[in-house]
A and B are shown apart, each in its own frame.
Chain A
Amino acid sequence: MAIKLNVNGKQVAAEAAPDTPLLWVLRDRLALTGTKYGCGGGYCGACTVHVDGAPARSCQLPVSAVAASPIATIEGLEERHPELLKVWVEKNVAQCGYCQSGQLMSAAALLDAKPEPTDADIDAAMAGNICRCGTYVRIRAAIHQAAAQRNGE
């Protein structure tokens, strides 16, 4: 059946069974492949998107449950957080890059909620995102720097 969604500020329609996780609707139906499959179990955060502005694991959300909510994915992040992306590139944070969409979505949600996050805030907000390549120290530094730049303006 056709499900109407609001993704990155646009109204879109996707053919999918109601129990299909949002992740697979984004990837297979809407060609928004920036959101990644890592575990399908809510453990790794590779599939993180924003639903109603809050970070959510899209592999755990049946698409029918989010039809009424604004959804944001990595593809729309630059518009809202250009400085975060810029810092991420400058600091050469990514290694393989596979986890990074999810890391960025979690980091953006953190900065939205706490413009000056502490290390403990970062530990808590990023706890759901695994990076097998081990880019954590750079993620932490990039979040701090993005926060500083935003607040400096």
Chain B
Amino acid sequence: MNQQAITATPPAAGALANLSRRHFLGASGALVLGACLPVASANPKAKASVPFQPNLFLSLGPDGTVRVTAHRSEMGQGVRTALAQIIADELEADWSRVAVDQAPGDAKYGDQNTDGSQSILRNYDRLREAGASARLMLRQAAAARWQVPVEEVRAVNHQVTHAASGNSADYGELAGDAAALPIPAQPALKAIGEHRYIGKAVVHVDAADIVRGKGVFGADVHLPNMATAVVVRCPWLGGGVKRILNEPKEAPGLVAIETLEPAPSAGPVFAPLGGVAVVAEDTFSAMRVARDLQIEWTDSPNRGFASDELRSALRSALEKPGAKVPGAEKGDVEAAFQGGGKQLSAIYETPFLAHAPLEAPVAVADVSVAEKRCAVRAPLQDPQAARGLIAQSLGYPLESVSVTPTLLGGAFGRKSKPDFALEAVELSRRLGRPVRVQWLREDDIRHDYFHAASAQFHRAVIDERGLPQAWLQRTAFPSITTVFAAQASAPAGWELEMGFSNLPYETPNRRMESAGIRAGVRIGWLRSVCNIFHAFSANVFADEMAAAAGRDAIEHRLAMLPKAGKLAVPGMQPPPGHELDVERFRHVIERVRALSEWARPRPEGTGLGFAVHHSFRSYVATVLEASVVDGRPRVSNAYMVLDCGTFVNADTCRAQMEGAVVFGLSLALHGDIAMRDGAVLQSNFHDYPMLRMAEAPATKVELVPAQDRLPAGVGEPGVPPVAPALVNALFAATGKRHRSLPIRV
């Protein structure tokens, strides 16, 4: 196990704390933070003090400090550290002299949507090149200064040296010279064995701030004269304010009570829900007034929505043929079902879930109507999209709007949707002063973009080895596309490609069908999205096939895989290097069998459960060890094997697998959001509980060394196999099969 920890100096403190009001207001043209300005080498007199900024992502000052600009949002997945590792590695920088600044949302960085486990995959090559070209320029600068061939000059760990002459220089000393050089087109990159930071365990750059309470999250941004708003929203989606029954004339700290219009039903994506905003001088004054406010709301078609009814509708949808997944049909399932043999069928159900990041949505906006400017700081996963929507809502040009992410106190997909930032912008515009909108936990849980409730139907004919000779799969759920289009209801192809239409298992007769339905709430993506329910149903059904044939679950699963090769699955084909690879599937299964000592007998009443899933281009196999103690499931051990191709931070990958176990067990054991009369019944962590310390299993993680493969996702793919592994473990322990989540023993 690579436990070499490299501790960074705490750069983020400066980076975030130095975000002065001048920056924030954008009074100068320098809205960009840190190292984002183009090379300013035109003025030769300024040479010594000119930082060397060969690209958008790094700068080197005369003191030798390397400032990396992170253009992706940090939500615990370690991206600020990983991006800096990639650059520092190719730059051959001394890690203790690397600092990280956060980029605002700006198209010049390319895609900034921190979503879909893609930050490394999309940026690995370009950031390596950014670091490598800077390193080459430093060598060239030294060679010119020393009048020696550049090939003889080495740049290692922040020092440039020339062995024959004995010359050496710190990177900082060469920054000015390097800044005057042209940027090389295709710098040579390091070979796999030469990495200094990539693939190693590196402590997160924000760790030192966080343990001192100095990390700056959304609510920690404080501006002079800032007011705080708490918004009371209609319990059902689409309702507006008819009247406020008890509007206070005055209350301690009260600044204003503002009515916000609800988003039109076919309105702009991620528009705020509307409601009554209580704006006060401080948070508690706003909370106190908001708590007592009585509001009469207007009706909306969603007022009758009940999750129980949706659940029945999903079950009925599974009883009839749905829309066939194009290209998925093989053989003739109906004929096979008529033909007899051992048959198995089951329905699986999963409920709505709320993201519930520990930091509820919060945003600070400062709008100057006179100057037509707006600056926002908030925990946002996609600052660029937020910037566009904010500019649109204000009718300002894009350049007049700045959006800079703070640290995100967890997000899991929730903070891709900037509705809360738009609320702050609207209130700041109206009140003419900076406004922070603080969602309360109750607001967060009741007014989320919910992970969709779902149901799946599986039916198979199995042979004596438990292998499917015919397999019909149906899935039904309200699609995420329903938040984008008023008429949409059918699941989208990309939703089905999340663990439904892209299963690797062999069968001569196969059909896959899907059905959609509209729900009376906003649907959104939550960490691993449709993979959650698709991996659940497929892995439990596979376990049921194995059990029906009396076979070992892992042997059986290996036998279900094709012999070898890259699988063409129905739907969109991934780019070369990311095809679904049977060998990699097989390998993580075999590794988790070894890691968990699968064959070792466990105590009476304890069972092992296995699951494996491919998502976000990565492969994860899981074994959980579970029993039932005092009528409650207890998971004692978790084993996770991850193949994510090239990984940047080994320790982050482990941490993400550890966290995925907890996230997966939370949804398997506790997660359940229900609606009645359009309103969410849960409100806080007492009725929407999540895993706590005593329930967290000891967790072993193995990373498949695959530094010769393309990088793939890490933040999400650990989640899908956890819940089915638990169901399978409880079956092994007790003989009882749970087919719906959360598990009730």
Contacts and interface: CB of A to CB of B under 8 A. Distances in A.
Given A92-B5, A95-B659, A133 B211 contact: no
A129 B693 contact: yes
B352 to A, nearest CB: 17
Given A28-B283, A44-B358, A96-B410, A36 B685 contact: no
Given A28-B284, A97-B409, A133-B410, A89 B7 contact: yes
B685 A130 contact: yes
Given A33-B219, A37-B219, A138 B658 contact: yes
Contact of A21 (B206, B284, B438, B658): B284
Interface stretch (B52-60, B490-498, B574-582, B694-702): B694-702
B357 A134 contact: no
A122 B698 CA distance: 14
A41 B252 CA distance: 22
A36 B359 contact: yes
B661 interface: yes
Contacts of A46: 358
B219 A136 contact: no
B698 A74 contact: no
Contacts of B423: none
A130 B692 contact: yes
Contact of B694 (A16, A17, A85, A127): A127
Contacts of A97: 76, 206-207, 210, 215, 217, 407, 409
Interface string A32-64: 111111111101101000000000000000000
A92 B651 contact: yes
Interface string A126-153: 1101111111111110000000000000
A2 interface: no
Given A95-B659, A130-B685, A88 B440 contact: no
Question: Which of A21, A29, A131 is packed against the most chain B CB atoms within 10 Å?
Answer: A131
Interface in B685-719: 685-686, 690-694, 696-699
Contacts of A89: 7, 203, 207-208, 211
Contacts of B662: 131, 133-134, 136
A41 B204 CA distance: 31
B655 A135 contact: yes
Interface residues on chain A, size class: 35 or more
A98 B410 contact: yes
A118 B295 CA distance: 51
Contacts of B212: 34, 74-75, 77-78, 85
A39 B685 contact: yes
Contact of B408 (A39, A96, A131): A96
Contacts of B441: 38-41, 44
B193 interface: no
A91 to B, nearest CB: 8
A136 to B, nearest CB: 4
A106 B282 CA distance: 27
B372 interface: no
B685 A41 contact: yes
Nearest to B662: A134
Interface string B271-288: 000000000001111010
Contacts of A21: 284
A95 B410 CA distance: 8
Interface in B186-241: 201, 203-204, 206-208, 210-217, 219-220, 222, 228
A48 to B, nearest CB: 11
Contact of A135 (B7, B203, B217, B658): B658
A90 B5 contact: yes
Given A32-B213, A97-B407, 9 more contacts: A43-B684, A95-B655, A97-B207, A98-B217, A124-B694, A133-B76, A133-B358, A136-B692, A138-B655
Interface of B: 5, 7, 74-78, 201, 203-204, 206-208, 210-217, 219-220, 222, 228, 252, 282-285, 287, 356-360, 407-412, 438, 440-441, 651-652, 655, 658-663, 666, 684-686, 690-694, 696-699
18 contacts: A17-B285, A34-B213, A34-B214, A38-B358, A39-B441, A88-B211, A92-B201, A92-B652, A95-B410, A96-B409, A97-B76, A97-B409, A98-B359, A129-B693, A130-B358, A132-B410, A133-B410, A136-B691
Pick the 4 closest A-B CB pairs, nearest first.
A34-B213, A134-B662, A98-B409, A96-B76
